[in-house]
Structure 1
Amino acid sequence: MKMKSFFAALLMVPALAFASGDAIHLDKAPNVQGDNAALQNGARLFVNYCQSCHGASFIRYEKLMELGLSEQQIKDNLMFTGEKIGDTMKIAMRPDEAKKWFGATPPDLTLIARARASGDGSGADWLYTYLRSFYKDDARPTGWNNVAFPNVGMPNVLWQLQGVQVLETVKAENGTEQHKLVLAEPGQLTPEQFDKQVADLVGFMVWMGEPGASNRRAIGVGVLIFLAVLFVSAYALKKNYWKDIH
């Protein structure tokens, strides 16, 4: 049964193929903005898997109440080292120590989704692709590499959920070499379940970059509706005022 599950996972894993030397194709990240359950799960993943090295120093814990969490839920599930609800989501690790351990200081992730936006795709697309593109590489100090960010110093912190991917080289019909990610060892989640978890995590990082985006969009829609109604009223008034002249 376990072996059947293993081969099923191999068949279901979304293969990520790319030509040597070509830019990586970015997968489209599911949009979970406005889905508080997904964003709450993303916050849980962030504090459990990312925040040991990466801070979010422009966001206060109390801001997470906008996702539908109570103050007590935040304290019980998202705060582990005696912080106060009004504190920012910083980490205790010192930048100089982090640079010595990892070779580079892990960046603050508050604005990472906005910083990674480019003409090739949104920051969410890049993060969604990156977090699903780790593979085993014994030549790297951490034992991991990434096709979206070659020779990155970060290990695959989600490997227990995803499993272990390896990079295989295949020949395309035109004779060029292509590299393909293959799931060699299944993780705790199926590929579909893992993709959903990554989508929630990325969605939370997108939300951190602009927590007021949903309100801004709602206000914008309201303003457009108001202007449309005002236009109809103004046009009707104009028609009535000028009817004797025209």
Structure 2
Amino acid sequence: MKTAFGIALLLFSFAASAVDPVKPLEDADVDVFDSDSVRRGAGFFANYCMGCHSIKQIRYSRIAKDFELSEDTMRREFMFGKVKVHDYLETAMSKADGESAFGVAPPDLSLVIRARGADWVYSYLKGFYVDPKRPLGTNNLVSPDVAMPNVLWALQGLQEPVIKKIDGTDTVVDVRLVKKGQMSPKEFDQVLTDMVNFLAYVSEPSKLQRLPLGKYVIFFLVVLAVIMYRLKKEYWKKIH
């Protein structure tokens, strides 16, 4: 019930700004078993996202346990400030400050992958473009008029909208890079993949144990089915 309620809240938080994108979503190469990618994603999240967003459904200690990381490694890579290893991943920004700065409090991202899907999050992070008409000077291809600024612009560079007339209305159908950032497009895509992998992991940490265990469960059920079938044949042989 708690998970379902969290997903419902997250969906509601995006309802005001999210519409079906004109451009198809890009495929996110999600692999929560890529521990190096998840660790890099945690670092990017801590540096670029935790100023506004929390992940209240997981503790640092769970991440350390799942990926066999020492507390020193955690603090070096993404545990910053005076946080303790058993703390949840919470932002220092208060709800009031978020509403004052952006008009709406930035949502908790614990379940954003389960609510929206990895492809949506990946395409959203990649879809920011310059828009002087917006209060923060940016807009988004996937979620038009969203209140979030483009926090990754220095890495990605600046993009401008590609506009076409659809039913007589100027519509943003794509974005194109007009000013290079600190990273090449390929390097930036890897950053987004790492962040999505991290968010996919925190949305369901048990997947690391559940999926490997599933192979053994299926094998057991197959063996059990064979045994039961042979037992059934043996019983019915006497009846016939």
Same fold (TM over 0.5): yes
Of residues 149-158 and 22-31 in structure 1, the stretch that sits farther from structure 2 once superposed is 22-31
Amino acid at match of 2:31: V
Equivalent of 1:216 in 206, 210, 214 = 210
Q: Distance in 1 between matches of 2:61 and 2:195?
A: 19
Work out the CA distance in 2 between the residues paired with 1:237 and 1:133: 59
1:39 touches 1:67 (CA, 8 Å); kept in 2? no
What is the percent sequence identity of the aligned residues? 42
Matched, 1:92 2:98: no
Q: CA deviation at 1:131?
A: 0.2
Unaligned runs of 5+ in 1: 1-20, 117-122
Q: Return closer, same or farther for 1:224/1:51 CA change in 2, 3 Å cut-off.
A: same
TM-score (norm 1): 0.82
Shift of 1:62: 0.8
* Partner of residue 128 from structure 2, selected from 109, 129, 134: 134
What's the counterpart of residue 41 of structure 1? 40
Task: Say if 1:59 and 1:167 are closer, same or farther in 2 by CA, change over 3 A.
Answer: same
SS at structure 2 position matched to 1:47 = helix
Q: Contact between 2:41 and 2:194, CA under 8 Å: does it hold in 1?
A: yes
- Asked if the contact 2:30–2:200 (Cα under 8 Å) also holds between the matched residues in 1, the reply is no
Aligned partners of 2:211 and 2:174: how far apart in 1?
39
Measured in 2, the distance between the counterparts of 1:44 and 1:163 equals 20
Measured in 1, the distance between the counterparts of 2:137 and 2:188 equals 21
Residue type at the aligned position of 2:79: M
Partner of 2:10: none
Any conservation in 2 of the 1:53–1:106 contact (CA below 8 Å)?
yes
1:70-92 CA deviation, whole Å, 9 max, x = no partner?
22211222121111100111122
TM-score norm. by structure 2 comes to: 0.84
Count residues in correspondence: 219
CA distance in 1, matches of 2:35, 2:20: 37
Aligned to 2:6: none
Query: 1:51: Cα distance to partner?
Result: 0.4
- 1:22 shift after superposition: 6.7
User: 1:227 — aligned with what?
Assistant: 221
Matches within 5 A, 1:31-110: 31-65=30-64, 66-110=66-110
Q: Could you tell me which runs of 5 or more consecutive residues in structure 2 were left unpaired when the two chains were aligned.
A: 1-18
Taking structure 1 as reference, are residues 22 and 32 closer, same or farther at Cα in structure 2, changes over 3 Å only?
closer
